[in-house]
Amino acid sequence: MSHVIPYGAAIQEAIREEMERDEHVLYFGQNMATSPDDPFLRAFGPERVRVTPISETAEIGMATGAAMAGYRPVVELYMAEFTLVAADQVVNEGPRFHFMSKGAVSVPTVMVAGYGFTCGWAGQATGSLYGMFMGVPGLKVVMPSTPADAKGLMTTAIRDDNPVLYFRHQLLLLTEGEVPDGEHAVPFGVADVKREGSDLTIVATGLTVHTALAAAETLARRGVSVEVIDPRTIAPFDVDTILASVARTGHLVVVDQATRHASVAAVVVAEVAELGFDSLRAPISMVTALDSTIAYSQPVEDYVLPDEHKVLTAVEKTLGLAPVPA
Amino acid sequence: MVVGNAMNGGTAEALGPERLVWIYTQMFRIREFEERVKSTFTDHPGIIRGHTHLADGAEASIVGCIAALAPGDQILTSYRCHGYPIALGTDTKLMMAEIYGKANGLCGGLGGSMHLYDPPRGLLGGSGIVAQHLPHAAGAAWVAQIRHRGEAIVCFFGDGASKQGAFHESLNIASLWKLPVVYVMENNNYNSRTRTDQEDANAAAGEPLSTKAKAYAMEGITVDGGDPVVVYATMTEALARARAGEGPTLVESLVYRLSAHGNLIAPPGVPLRYPDHEAIAIFGNRAEYEAALRGDPVPRFRHRLVIDGTLRDVDADSIEAAARAEIDEAQRFALDSPWPEPDSGLRYVYA
């Protein structure tokens, strides 16, 4: 049994259920729970649900301290760029402590960061920064593309004993989808095959999973069978599912909303080039954002971002297909 | 206002001779440990890698604070962190082995001098990055507030940290939320090789650094960190306020570190050692350093306990001999300990 809810509501549902299940879960951040009618405040009270000042270093740092003291804080950061204000806390504090203490402390925090808000938010609030955090030892990084994964990955993030950076795609907030009823936890490090296919593999993350699925549908009408893989978590990162798919299809296109050299796509390409080269029957194609700051004005914004047409062009090139006029 | 000897007599009586002797014992153990870390650079070159920061000169402040803790209280520290666990009862053998990078060190050689942890004794850890543990203390204090067990958090840092955003953000929230935390700023008048009046507006204006508490509507007090009894009395009051839900306190504890900020920073191949204190090495002010040595809190406190009849000279000598024997053993243990398995580097990445 399942129910249909938007991506944003699925995240809230997971947090609410985990707060009901475990009194150690805390939820706090800027501009939340300021009204006595706030549903979280009403359900869990002002000890566990709090609004903070606009102080990212303190917010993330307090999450780390509360976690070291035995609680499971979820800190709402709204925009992923705010992690940069507090980059030391995200990268160089919590993720180090379990290691440096030889396991004497653990830091089960969830940092919820909205990203990819490419709808006129201009240069400083539209970034796709996840790639920066992919190689931070001790930090887990998740980026769901559907309501079901949004809920399931949040459940797992709260239960995980490590710092988790949860990237929430801002353009997907209102996208509806089926979410399994009852407890729903999606394991970390397990990629999801969003569509099965045999001719070509597309690996995509976040919003671009939907771009890839749209392209796959278009290509299906032309008799081309495309497999779409969503890693779902980029640390840990499930390379095996990608390698197994490429072993069957022999062709790979990687789609990513981030700029080319700071993308997950670049890591996928590197892994397949090293570990799956023998499977490839054609060069890999990358469809990423162009190396520029995101513009305010829509035509300029659109120009640098991946879209279905760019994905189709990449697939045509990889498979040696004749382009179909638009 | 610097709280000095005025409040001292009553507190010393309240502490009683046993606690006063305990305080002296811990002070001396810390001094002995730190001097042994320092002499390792010449006696066993190459054993200690990277950067160490010593607490010699701050023993009275450290032990005065630790003496005021109650069971269940927790502390967080800066990277100048050797003194606190010694006073909390952490095994000095494990500590020295950690600083020597050995397998049976406190953290298996994975943390080193700047990263000591002992949660069962209340040491939650700290940060090697200046001031970044101040919000961790606020977070731990939030948990203490929710738990309603009357527990409090003490957070130790240097004066340099008060120029970091993390300091200001943390004090604001701690006061706003009335968190049970005491922020102890050990003001040793130098941020590495920068004198405090070169970087701090309050210091440059001749104000105590505890003035900063006023900006956050919290209690701020400056004490003589060379007197463990004064520190103890101040901390006892601050902790009582914290436990009563009356919010945090900023305690500025005036200390003089008797060693340089840390050992030499150099690439491999250059022998590491402790340079002269910055007063001499940077500012050419030998007189300042020599005055600090004359005011050294460790012999000063011994002398006081002997003069007032709390401690006989012969007993003080035994305390010091026992501490030397303990640190001899800690060093032997650390030298004899094996190196960690190289692949232990992959064992604790994730919990």
Per CATH, A2-180 and A192-319 having the same topology is answered yes
Residue A133 pLDDT grade (very low, low, confident, very high; cuts 50, 70, 90): very high
**Alpha carbon of B74: minimum distance to chain A alpha carbons (Å):** 9
B156 and B77 Cβ atoms separated by less than 8 Å: yes
Partner residue opposite A66 with nearest CB, options B106, B142, B351:
B142
Q: What is the mean pLDDT of residues A168-196?
A: 98
User: How many CA atoms, within 13 angstroms, populate the side-chain half-sphere of residue B13?
Assistant: 3
ipTM: 0.95
- How many domains does chain B contain in total? 1
Q: What is the mean pLDDT of residues B305-322?
A: 97
Residue B13 pLDDT grade (very low, low, confident, very high; cuts 50, 70, 90): confident
Partner residue opposite A105 with nearest CB, options B124, B127, B134:
B124
Is B142 part of the contact surface with chain A (CB cutoff 8 Å)?
yes
Residue B350 within a domain: no
- Which residue has tokens 């270093």? A57
- Percent of chain A exceeding pLDDT 70 equals 99
Residue B9 pLDDT grade (very low, low, confident, very high; cuts 50, 70, 90): low
Partner residue opposite A69 with nearest CB, options B74, B111, B133:
B74
For position B6, what pLDDT does the model report? 44
Residue A307 pLDDT grade (very low, low, confident, very high; cuts 50, 70, 90): very high
Residue B232 within a domain: yes
Chain B residues in contact with A138 by the CB 8 A cut-off are 349-350
Residue B320 within a domain: yes
For position A324, what pLDDT does the model report? 77
The long-range contacts involving B199-206, CB below 8 angstroms and separated by at least 24 positions, are: B199/B160, B199/B163, B200/B159, B200/B162, B200/B163, B203/B159
Distances (CA, A) of A288 to A142, A242, A260, B245: 19, 18, 5, 53
Residue B294 within a domain: yes
Q: Which CATH code for domain A2-180?
A: 3.40.50.970
| pLDDT exceeds 90 at position B110 | yes
Mutation target to probe the A interface, by most A beta carbons within 10 A, among B142, B145, B148, B172 is B142
**Alpha carbon of A134: minimum distance to chain B alpha carbons (Å):** 14
Cα–Cα dist B75/A266, whole Å: 43
CATH of the domain at B213: 3.40.50.970
Window 49-108 of B, Cβ < 8 Å to A: 74, 76, 106-108
Question: Is A61 close to B118, i.e. CB distance below 8 A?
Answer: no
Residue A75: closest C-alpha in chain B = B139
Q: What is the mean pLDDT of residues B235-263?
A: 98
For position A326, what pLDDT does the model report? 61
Residue A14 pLDDT grade (very low, low, confident, very high; cuts 50, 70, 90): very high
Residue B134 within a domain: yes
Residue B346 within a domain: no
For position A82, what pLDDT does the model report? 96
For position B10, what pLDDT does the model report? 72
Residue B54 pLDDT grade (very low, low, confident, very high; cuts 50, 70, 90): very high
Residue B154 within a domain: yes
Q: Note down the domain range covering B179.
A: 2-336
**B69-80 exposure pattern, b = at least 16 Cβ within 10 A, e = fewer:** beeebbbbbbbb
Residue B99 within a domain: yes
The CATH number corresponding to A192-319 among 3.40.50.1370, 3.40.50.150, 3.40.1390.10, 3.40.50.920 equals: 3.40.50.920
| pLDDT exceeds 80 at position A325 | no
Question: Is B139 close to A103, i.e. CB distance below 8 A?
Answer: no
Could you tell me which residues of chain A have a Cβ less than 8 Å from any Cβ in chain B?
A: 26, 47-48, 50, 52-53, 55, 57-71, 73, 88-89, 92-93, 97-108, 137-138, 140, 161-162
Interface size, chain A vs chain B, as Cβ–Cβ contacts under 8 Å: 142
For position B8, what pLDDT does the model report? 57
Question: Is A65 close to B74, i.e. CB distance below 8 A?
Answer: no
Q: What's the gap between Cα A243 and its chain centre?
A: 20
Mutation target to probe the A interface, by most A beta carbons within 10 A, among B76, B106, B136 is B136
For position B342, what pLDDT does the model report? 95
For position A322, what pLDDT does the model report? 87
pLDDT digits (tens, 9 = 90+) for A245-275: 999 999 999 999 999 999 999 999 999 999 9
Torsion angles phi and psi, residue B153, rounded to 5: -115, 140
Q: What is the mean pLDDT of residues A77-99?
A: 97
For position B2, what pLDDT does the model report? 54
Q: Are strands A176-180 and A2-6 parallel, antiparallel or unpaired?
A: antiparallel
Cα–Cα dist B231/B156, whole Å: 13
Q: What is the mean pLDDT of residues A176-195?
A: 98
- Percent of chain A exceeding pLDDT 90 equals 98
Domain ranges of chain A: 2-180, 192-319
For position B3, what pLDDT does the model report? 53
pLDDT digits (tens, 9 = 90+) for B160-198: 999 999 999 999 999 999 999 999 999 999 999 999 999
pLDDT digits (tens, 9 = 90+) for B188-198: 999 999 999 99
Cα–Cα dist B165/B171, whole Å: 10
Torsion angles phi and psi, residue B86, rounded to 5: -60, -45
pLDDT digits (tens, 9 = 90+) for B209-222: 999 999 999 999 99
Q: What is the mean pLDDT of residues B252-277?
A: 95
Residues 6+ apart with CB under 8 A from A283: A318
Question: Is A71 close to B132, i.e. CB distance below 8 A?
Answer: no
Chain A residues in contact with B176 by the CB 8 A cut-off are 53
Average pLDDT, rounded, for chain B: 96
What number of H helices and E strands is found in chain B? 12, 9
- Which residue has tokens 């204006």? B205
Residues 6+ apart with CB under 8 A from B66: B26, B75, B84, B87, B88
Question: Is B350 close to A138, i.e. CB distance below 8 A?
Answer: yes
DSSP state of A323: P
How many CB atoms lie under 10 A from the CB of residue B162? Answer: 28
Chain B residues in contact with A64 by the CB 8 A cut-off are 135-136, 139
